């Protein structure tokens, strides 16, 4: 007797009987219990019923239905609420049949924080917990930094922390170079300082002409009164405001506040360009590359993208699109409820708004073209790696390891990762060398520890037989490059043979050329004599770049660790010494080094240090 095969449509049919006709969100699970799709519906019963008749649906939906083994449902009061919940679940669960917003970066804002009596101008990311005025988003931290610098010159607002402000007894350097009005020491009254704060707020809110006209009028009055020093100061402030306004490459005369979205599609890949316009100024743009099935239309991908984009962001009053959405009114309702103000979603047909969308669309297509060109180059390089190193197929994940230390101190191991889209910095890892059995400077021992930790954890936490999803970085490497020759590779073989890995990985040692000459490297592989790659071969340059990147990353991590260790006070290592006692010891002796040389009687004379603690300090430094 054989079991009757279970089909996804049959399983879905079983849920339909009990479903309500109200709005809600549904999740579809596969055999392993993973969520494969999240959807929303105005009528749950009607929507899910469609999946019980897969014959007329496209291949992607039929595959999704066939993979389904269970479903869960959440009922909502409105379809708009279902739309927001759907976006939240997709971002959190990342189902493989949904459009996924990748590279979900948080954009910086400019904040005029008003919690202190003298408002502070600063960059802000994350939740808006600080009381004040927020302006943004800006597409990059560099744009925020440039703007804040110009605003300092224009409005002379402080950028220091509250604790720094409280500790001032005389103006700091920023006041000397005319970038702060120094309310901390009374160089300007709080009333006059608040006027500057209000001018800055108005300027960032789009009332730039009012502010500039006011400053120009004051400058002319100062010049007529022969107060040329004040006139020059006002002139400099006007120049700084002009600099802020000139930073955007696209002006907006009629669009005060809007996000502009345009989507490009080529060779099965999508690119969404987002431009931010606030206060009639372009505050930058960013290219996103959502993961989506090639069978989807541009409008379908854009609609799913926007829902996820605003899941944790506040929408502006206008959203301008390159393609119409299937449910524009629903999107407006959902985003308006989230923002607390009316949000208009439109595809402009004429005028400046259409020009802005077209500009974004051109950028999306150009970014996609660059991505495809780079991908083609990367693909050719990986195919070259497979050919020259005798691999069965081009590697999808390459790992490169290096160590860094000075005479064995502050030793770290570093791993960089490269794949089909180039270097993947989010997969980089560092390893602090923990073993006390390793002789200082023992590179073999350090590499042995790093690889043992890396592959033991990998074998424990990932399925080596799992099919890696197309377009994603696999967990398991196909190729591992080690900085070193035969000795280093033998140490690696010893580690790997002891781990008995469930998946084959190719290990390659890179020995530096004679006199460390780049281009004369020898490569070591199991079962092959050491060999060199053809001079000027693109694959040779590619491997050199990977090795140099691993070295750079290892050196940078080592320096950071060394600097951290350099500022660690030896007194912190002694149990029982907190901030108060440490301060008392340093005030008495001047430095930790002087404390280490102090006599026991001198230590006992320090206020707050008992005889027992003095003995403990003395023993710590004198090895008793």
* Structural domain contains residue 177: yes
pLDDT at 319: 96
Give the residue, 304 or 201, on which the prediction is more confident.
304
Nearest to 479 by CA among 585, 597, 393: 393
**Structure confidence by residue, pLDDT tens digits, 461-484:** 776 555 556 667 888 999 999 988
- Provide the edge-to-edge strand list for the sheet that holds 120-124: 120-124, 109-113, 132-135
Asked if 121 contacts 244 with a C-beta cutoff of 8 angstroms, the reply is no
**Same-domain status, 428 and 450:** yes
* Structural domain contains residue 337: yes
**Same-domain status, 329 and 453:** no
Query: Structural domain of residue 85, as residue ranges?
Result: 8-93
pLDDT band with cut points at 50, 70 and 90 for residue 1 = very low
CA distances from 497 to 390, 459, 504 (A): 21, 14, 11
pLDDT at 384: 92
Cα 169 to the center of its chain, rounded Å: 39
Give the residue, 559 or 21, on which the prediction is more confident.
21
- Mark which of 51, 67, 93 sits at the end of a domain: 93
β pairing state of 318-321 and 281-288: unpaired
Q: What is the CATH number of the domain that holds 480?
A: 3.30.420.340
Instruction: Say how far apart CA 462 and CA 458 lie, in whole Å.
Output: 6
Q: Which two tokens stand for residue 501?
A: 């890995």
Give the residue, 262 or 623, on which the prediction is more confident.
262
User: For residue 515, what is the DSSP state?
Assistant: G
Instruction: Say how far apart CA 307 and CA 320 lie, in whole Å.
Output: 14
Across the chain, mean pLDDT equals 84
**Same-domain status, 427 and 550:** yes
**Same-domain status, 561 and 584:** no
**Same-domain status, 268 and 339:** yes
**Same-domain status, 128 and 227:** yes
pLDDT band with cut points at 50, 70 and 90 for residue 486 = confident
pLDDT at 240: 62
State the DSSP string of 22-72: S-EEEEEE-TTS-EEEEEEESSHHHHHHHTT-GGGS-HHHHHHHHH--EEE
Question: pTM for the whole thing?
Answer: 0.66
pLDDT at 623: 65
Give yes or no for residue 44 having a pLDDT over 80: yes
* Structural domain contains residue 195: yes
pLDDT at 246: 55
Structure-derived torsion over alpha carbons of residues 577, 578, 580, 585, reported in degrees to the nearest 10? 30
Neighbours of 365 (CB within 10 A): 17
* Structural domain contains residue 413: yes
Asked if 436 contacts 449 with a C-beta cutoff of 8 angstroms, the reply is no
What DSSP element (H or E) covers 89? helix 79-93
What DSSP element (H or E) covers 334? helix 328-339
* Structural domain contains residue 176: yes
Token pair 């990977």 is at which residue? 546
What DSSP element (H or E) covers 400? strand 397-406
Asked if 558 contacts 405 with a C-beta cutoff of 8 angstroms, the reply is yes
User: Average of pLDDT values for 173-188?
Assistant: 90
User: For residue 165, what is the DSSP state?
Assistant: H
Q: What is the CATH number of the domain that holds 574?
A: 1.10.150.20
Asked if 289 contacts 371 with a C-beta cutoff of 8 angstroms, the reply is yes
**Same-domain status, 121 and 204:** yes
536-554 b/e (C-beta count within 10 Å ≥ 16 → b): eeebbebbeebbebbbebb
Give the residue, 122 or 409, on which the prediction is more confident.
122
What's the distance, Cα to Cα, between the start and end of the chain in Å?
Answer: 80
* Structural domain contains residue 101: no
**Same-domain status, 69 and 174:** no
Instruction: Say how far apart CA 505 and CA 322 lie, in whole Å.
Output: 46
pLDDT band with cut points at 50, 70 and 90 for residue 260 = very high
Helices within 136-265 (DSSP H only):
141-155, 162-166, 173-176, 190-204, 208-224, 228-245
In sequence order, the 6+-apart residues with CB closer than 8 A to the CB of 440 are 405, 407, 408, 409, 411
Instruction: Say how far apart CA 364 and CA 385 lie, in whole Å.
Output: 31
pLDDT at 564: 61
**Same-domain status, 230 and 147:** yes
CA distances from 198 to 155, 221, 300 (A): 10, 21, 43
Helix (H, G, I), strand (E, B) or coil at 212: helix
Nearest to 76 by CA among 109, 32, 43: 43
Domain total in the chain: 5
- The number of C-alpha atoms within 13 Å of 87 and in the hemisphere containing its C-beta is 24
Q: Which two tokens stand for residue 473?
A: 């970085």
Instruction: Say how far apart CA 496 and CA 482 lie, in whole Å.
Output: 13
What DSSP element (H or E) covers 321? strand 318-321
**Same-domain status, 354 and 501:** no
**Structure confidence by residue, pLDDT tens digits, 311-350:** 888 899 999 999 999 999 999 999 999 889 999 999 999 9
Asked if 491 contacts 448 with a C-beta cutoff of 8 angstroms, the reply is yes
- Provide the edge-to-edge strand list for the sheet that holds 24-29: 35-41, 24-29, 70-75
Asked if 506 contacts 389 with a C-beta cutoff of 8 angstroms, the reply is yes
Instruction: Say how far apart CA 46 and CA 67 lie, in whole Å.
Output: 20
Instruction: Say how far apart CA 155 and CA 86 lie, in whole Å.
Output: 44
What DSSP element (H or E) covers 82? helix 79-93
Q: Is 364 exposed, middle or buried (0-12, 13-18, 19+ CB in 10 A)?
A: buried
Token pair 């409005």 is at which residue? 155
Output phi, psi for 557, to 5 deg: -65, -40
- Mark which of 245, 280, 304 sits at the end of a domain: 245
**Same-domain status, 337 and 401:** no
Helices within 500-578 (DSSP H only):
538-566
- Mark which of 224, 245, 266 sits at the end of a domain: 245
Asked if 368 contacts 292 with a C-beta cutoff of 8 angstroms, the reply is no
60-85 b/e (C-beta count within 10 Å ≥ 16 → b): ebbbbbebbbebeebebeebbbbbbb
Asked if 12 contacts 68 with a C-beta cutoff of 8 angstroms, the reply is yes
Q: Which two tokens stand for residue 342?
A: 């009316």
* Structural domain contains residue 45: yes
Give the residue, 238 or 183, on which the prediction is more confident.
183
**Same-domain status, 405 and 526:** yes
**Structure confidence by residue, pLDDT tens digits, 427-457:** 998 888 777 666 666 777 788 888 888 888 8
* Structural domain contains residue 374: no
State the DSSP string of 405-453: EETTEEEEEEEEEEETTEE-GGG-EEEE---SSSPTT-HHHHHHHHHHH
Neighbours of 224 (CB within 10 A): 9
Q: Helix 298-309 crosses helix 328-339 at what angle (to 10 degrees)?
A: 10
């Amino acid at each position: 007797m054989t079991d009757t095969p279970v089909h996804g449509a049959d399983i879905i049919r079983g849920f339909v009987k009990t479903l309500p006709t109200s709005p809600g969100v549904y999740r579809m699970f596969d055999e392993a219990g993973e969520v494969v799709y999240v959807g929303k519906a105005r009528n749950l019963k009607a929507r899910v019923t469609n999946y019980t008749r897969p014959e007329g649906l496209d291949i992607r939906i039929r595959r999704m239905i066939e993979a389904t083994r269970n479903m869960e449902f959440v009922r909502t009061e409105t379809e708009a609420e279902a739309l927001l919940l759907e976006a939240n679940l997709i971002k959190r669960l990342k189902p493989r049949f949904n459009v996924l917003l990748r590279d979900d970066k948080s954009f910086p804002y400019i904040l005029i924080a008003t919690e202190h009596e003298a408002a502070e101008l600063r960059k802000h990311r994350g939740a808006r917990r600080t009381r004040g005025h927020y302006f943004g988003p800006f597409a990059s931290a560099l744009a925020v930094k440039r703007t804040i610098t110009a605003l300092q010159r224009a409005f002379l607002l402080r950028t220091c922390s509250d604790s720094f402000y409280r500790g001032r007894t005389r103006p700091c350097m920023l006041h000397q170079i005319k970038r702060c009005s120094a309310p901390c020491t009374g160089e300007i009254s709080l009333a006059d300082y608040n006027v500057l704060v209000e001018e800055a707020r108005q300027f960032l809110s789009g009332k730039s002409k009012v502010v500039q006209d006011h400053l120009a009028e004051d400058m002319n009055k100062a010049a007529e009164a022969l107060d040329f020093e004040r006139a020059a100061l006002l002139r400099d402030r006007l120049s700084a405001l002009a600099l802020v306004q000139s930073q955007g490459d696209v002006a907006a005369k009629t669009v005060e506040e809007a996000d502009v979205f345009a989507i490009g599609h080529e060779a099965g890949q999508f690119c969404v360009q987002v431009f931010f316009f606030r206060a009639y100024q372009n505050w930058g743009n960013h290219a996103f590359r959502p993961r989506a099935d090639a069978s989807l239309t541009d409008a379908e991908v854009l609609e799913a993208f926007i829902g996820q984009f605003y899941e944790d962001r506040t929408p502006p009053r206008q959203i301008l699109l390159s393609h119409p959405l299937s449910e524009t009114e629903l999107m407006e309702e959902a985003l308006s409820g989230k923002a607390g103000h009316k949000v208009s979603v439109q595809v402009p047909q004429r005028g400046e708004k259409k020009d802005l969308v077209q500009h974004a669309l051109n950028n999306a297509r150009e970014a996609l073209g660059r991505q495809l060109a780079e991908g083609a180059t990367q693909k050719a390089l990986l195919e070259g790696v497979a050919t020259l190193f005798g691999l069965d197929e081009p590697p999808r994940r390459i790992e490169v390891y290096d160590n860094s230390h000075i005479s064995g101190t502050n030793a770290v191991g570093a791993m960089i990762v490269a794949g089909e889209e180039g270097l993947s910095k989010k997969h980089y890892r560092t390893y602090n060398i923990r073993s006390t059995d390793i002789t200082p400077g023992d590179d073999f021992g350090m590499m042995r520890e790093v690889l043992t930790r890396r592959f033991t954890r990998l074998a424990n936490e990932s399925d080596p037989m799992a099919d890696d999803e197309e377009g994603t970085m696999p967990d398991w490497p196909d190729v591992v490059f080690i900085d070193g020759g035969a000795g280093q590779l033998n140490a690696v073989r010893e580690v790997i043979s002891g781990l008995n890995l469930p998946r084959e990985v190719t290990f390659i040692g890179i020995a530096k050329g004679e006199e460390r000459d780049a281009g004369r490297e020898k490569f070591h592989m199991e079962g092959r004599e050491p060999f060199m790659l053809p001079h000027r071969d693109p694959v040779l340059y590619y491997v050199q770049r990977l090795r140099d990147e691993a070295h750079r990353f290892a050196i940078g991590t080592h320096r950071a660790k060394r600097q951290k260790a350099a500022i660690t006070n030896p007194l912190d290592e002694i149990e029982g010494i907190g901030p108060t006692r440490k301060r008392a010891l340093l005030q008495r002796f001047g430095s930790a080094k002087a404390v280490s040389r102090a006599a026991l009687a001198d230590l006992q004379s320090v206020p707050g240090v008992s005889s027992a603690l003095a003995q403990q300090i003395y023993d710590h430094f004198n090895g008793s």
